[in-house]
C-alpha cells in the first residue's frame, strides 16, 4: 500500500485490554505512514491507554451509543477528510460510521455482515463455521499484513505514561517495597461484566505459585470496586505473598 496517505483515521478497540493488545498494530501504522496525520477514534474510558503514546497526531474521544453521539462523531471525522480509515473493532457500527462520514477507503475484518461497507480486509480464520481463537495481538496485526505493511520484527504490547504518572507510580512502588530491579507481574482478576468474563480466583492463586517457581517476581494484585472478595479468595488460596492494591488499600502479608 502507498504510504502517501495524508489523513488516516484509526478506530481503536472498545476495551482497555484490547487497546493494549492493539499497540503493535498502532506502531505498525505509525512506522509505515511516517508523513501522514493519524487520528485515533477511541472511547473516553480507554483514552488513558494511548494518551502518552507516539502513535497518533490527534485523539478523538467518543460516545457513539446514542444518535446524537454518532452524529457528533460523523461530523468530527468529516472535518478531518480522511484518505483512509482502519477499523479495528468488529462491530457493524464502527464501519458504518466511517462510511456515513464519507471515508472512501475503509479497512477492517470482513465480519458481522459489514463487508459491503469495507474497501478490503482479512477474513477471520474459521473451522466448521466457527471462528478459530487467535491472540488479539496477532489478530490486529493481520490487518497490517493484509495491507502489506512492514510488520514489526518483535511485536510486543506497549504502554507509555507521563512523568507525573511515573512519579506517582514510583511512590506507590516504594510504599510496597518494590525496587526498580524487581520483576513485577500484575494480576487484574475482575471484569466489568462479572464472572462470565473472569478467570476463577483459584486459577490466579495457582498461577502465582507457578510464577514464583520460575521467576523471582513480585506479584501485584489490582482490585476494583466490588472486587474485594475476589482478591481475598486469591490471597487465601495461594502460598505466595501477593500485594493487593484496591479501593480499600488491602495489603495482605
| CA torsion through residues 210, 213, 217, 219, sign | positive
Domain 163-245 CATH (choose: 3.40.109.10, 3.40.50.2000, 3.30.70.260, 3.40.50.970)? 3.40.50.2000
Q: pLDDT value at position 227? A: 84
pLDDT at 3: 65
- The reply to whether domains 7-146 and 163-245 share a CATH topology is yes
Tally of CB atoms within 10 A around 35: 8
What CA–CA distances, in Å, run from 21 to 5, 13, 71, 136? Answer: 25, 9, 29, 6
**In the chain, which stretches have pLDDT less than 50?**
248-253
Look at the alpha carbons of 3, 101, 25, 51 in this order and tell me if their dihedral is positive or negative. Answer: positive
**What is residue 172's predicted lDDT score, i.e. its pLDDT?**
85
pLDDT at 84: 96
**Domain spans, the chain:** 7-146, 163-245
What count of Cα atoms within 13 Å lies in the side-chain half-sphere of residue 88? 28
Q: Considering the domain 7-146, what is its CATH architecture? A: 3-Layer(aba) Sandwich (3.40)
Amino acid at each position: 500500500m502507498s504510504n502517501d496517505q495524508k489523513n488516516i483515521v484509526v478506530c481503536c478497540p472498545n476495551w482497555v485490554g484490547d487497546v493494549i493488545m492493539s499497540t503493535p498494530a498502532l506502531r505498525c501504522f505509525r512506522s509505515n505512514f511516517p508523513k501522514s496525520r493519524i487520528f485515533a477514534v477511541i472511547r473516553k474510558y480507554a483514552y488513558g491507554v494511548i494518551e502518552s503514546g507516539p502513535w497518533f497526531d490527534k485523539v478523538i474521544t467518543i460516545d457513539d451509543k446514542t444518535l446524537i453521539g454518532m452524529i457528533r462523531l460523523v461530523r468530527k471525522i468529516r472535518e478531518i477528510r480522511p484518505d483512509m480509515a482502519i477499523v479495528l473493532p468488529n462491530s457493524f457500527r464502527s464501519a458504518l460510521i466511517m462510511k456515513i462520514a464519507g471515508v472512501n477507503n475503509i479497512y477492517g475484518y470482513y465480519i458481522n455482515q459489514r463487508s459491503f461497507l469495507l474497501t478490503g480486509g482479512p477474513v477471520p480464520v474459521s473451522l466448521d463455521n466457527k471462528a478459530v481463537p487467535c491472540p488479539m495481538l496477532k489478530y490486529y496485526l493481520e490487518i497490517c499484513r493484509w495491507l502489506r505493511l512492514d510488520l514489526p520484527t518483535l511485536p510486543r504490547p506497549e504502554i507509555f505514561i507521563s512523568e507525573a504518572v511515573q512519579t506517582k507510580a514510583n511512590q506507590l512502588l516504594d510504599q510496597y517495597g518494590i525496587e526498580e530491579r524487581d520483576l513485577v507481574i500484575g494480576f487484574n482478576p475482575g471484569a466489568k461484566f462479572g464472572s462470565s468474563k473472569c478467570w476463577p480466583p483459584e486459577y490466579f492463586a495457582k498461577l502465582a505459585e507457578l510464577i514464583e517457581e520460575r521467576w523471582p517476581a513480585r506479584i501485584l494484585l489490582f482490585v476494583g470496586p466490588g472486587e474485594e472478595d475476589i482478591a481475598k479468595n486469591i490471597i487465601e488460596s495461594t502460598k505466595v505473598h501477593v500485594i493487593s492494591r484496591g479501593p480499600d488499600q488491602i495489603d495482605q502479608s
